[in-house]
Copies of this chain bind each other. A is one copy, B any other.
């Protein structure tokens, strides 16, 4: 078996959508999915491309974004293993991708075509419920983010972002939580709905208040309590 195959099975087990499947089912999913490699900065699809199916991130980091009429980039999601993206259009009328997707680093994706997925869900209708749970969770996250963008200012949103990240990497439990950005600060800015200059000043502000220490791409949390307070 190719080394990729092991990674594929390993990750599939962690995809919430497939988490309760037994081995034979996982093998089946593994069969219908096609592994695709993308170099850093390479696009996976563009807005308005014909919708072929969705992706599961096996390795790397993907940004899904749109460009506004005025040319401003707006980042809809950042996706790491074992997350899905472009799964929403599976259940929509229109036949095109509604946004752009680009690899932020060399990435490995599992592509599942809409036709294959239709077959899979026909055989395992319980996947529909998994999907509903996944959608529900994301809607919750989205409403939270929407609320944040319209009621909080940038430094508060940054505080929230840092907390999310140290929760994900588990270091929130340590005495000094930390995080190492795998994406550029310009990307973080667009994700928080702002621009690099403003983000830079927000980082400075948090540093001046002795809440964090920034060293290039590394961020050390000095005062988690205050950080949480800011994030609200």
Tell me the A residues contacting B by CB distance below 8 Å.
Answer: 66, 68-70, 72, 74, 76, 88-92, 98-99, 125, 128-129, 131-133, 135-140, 142-143, 145-147, 149-152, 193, 232
Contacts and interface: CB of A to CB of B under 8 A. Distances in A.
Interface residue SS majority, chain A: helix
A54 to B, nearest CB: 12
A132 B91 contact: yes
The 10 closest A-B pairs by CB, nearest first: A150-B193, A91-B136, A128-B128, A135-B135, A91-B132, A68-B151, A69-B232, A91-B133, A88-B136, A74-B147
A98 B141 CA distance: 12
Given A88-B136, A135-B136, A143 B76 contact: yes
A197 to B, nearest CB: 16
B143 A92 contact: no
Contacts of A129: 91, 128
B72 A151 contact: yes
B147 A66 contact: yes
Given A68-B147, A74-B150, A145-B146, A140 B193 contact: no
B149 A149 contact: yes
A142 B232 CA distance: 22
Contacts of A140: 88, 92, 98
Given A76-B143, A125-B128, A89 B138 contact: no
Nearest to A77: B143
A128 B91 CA distance: 11
Contact of A74 (B68, B89, B151): B151
B128 A132 contact: yes
Contacts of A149: 146, 149-150, 193
A223 to B, nearest CB: 18
A132 B128 CA distance: 8
10 contacts: A66-B147, A68-B147, A74-B146, A88-B140, A90-B132, A92-B133, A98-B143, A132-B132, A138-B139, A149-B149
Nearest to A193: B150
